[in-house]
Amino acid sequence: MATPAAQTRLTPEEYITFERKAIPDAETVRSEYVNGKIIPRSSPNRAHNLITGNIAGELHTRLKGTTNSVFANEMRVSIPAAKSYFYPDVVIVCEEPRFEDDVFDILLNPIILVEVLSPSTEAYDRGEKFGHYRQLASLQEYVLVAQDKVLVEHYRRQEKQESVPVTGKGWIFTDCRELEEILSLPSIQCELPLREIYERVTFSD
């Protein structure tokens, strides 16, 4: 399938039309969209896929029977204020999901977003993309997971009554660097041991 690479800018409607046509084509790499610009996604490797699957699978098991839903890789998230669309690696929704239209593939109200870092996207995921994500009123937690070492970084939106150190416009930052540590996700009352996040993942010396 042809790509929009030759066209430097697309309207949101043009982007969504192209992406929906591209989804059945296994050879087409999905792209994200930021205010008219197309940003191709990097192809995930084995470690990336394992980590994403581990997180999504463990959360699905832990959240079974609750009002929370877990999506991995496939769910597009809209940031209306930034005129942007992204594919987070893992998305968690609390209560009833809200969608942009009746195709039900563009989510508006995630409560947690997870990105598995890669060398080509790490700076972007930490910086510009997080800046866009912060514009979502529903978002309570943002998680970054390294794939080349044990490192999980967690940002939680500060509640007004809290009196703790914050970073970046009211977001509380913590990190985990050992397999024995546990990632706490208070907005969904859930915990994930890092050993489960990194199950079967090997690191080069």
How long is the chain?
A: 205
What residues contact 67, with CB distance under 8 A and at least 6 apart? 94, 95, 96
pTM equals 0.90
The predicted structure's pLDDT at residue 5: 45
Place of tokens 């997180």: 55
The predicted structure's pLDDT at residue 167: 55
Residues forming CATH 3.90.1570.10 domain(s) in the chain: 44-197
The predicted structure's pLDDT at residue 164: 53
Pair 111, 94: CB distance under 8 Å:
yes
Segment-wise mean pLDDT, segments of 10 residues, the chain, 205 residues: 53 93 67 91 90 97 95 93 95 94 96 94 93 96 97 92 58 97 97 98 85
The predicted structure's pLDDT at residue 160: 64
The predicted structure's pLDDT at residue 74: 84
The predicted structure's pLDDT at residue 66: 95
**What's the CATH number for 44-197?**
3.90.1570.10
Q: Which of 151, 190, 205, 198 is nearest to 66 (CA)?
A: 190
DSSP state of 110: -
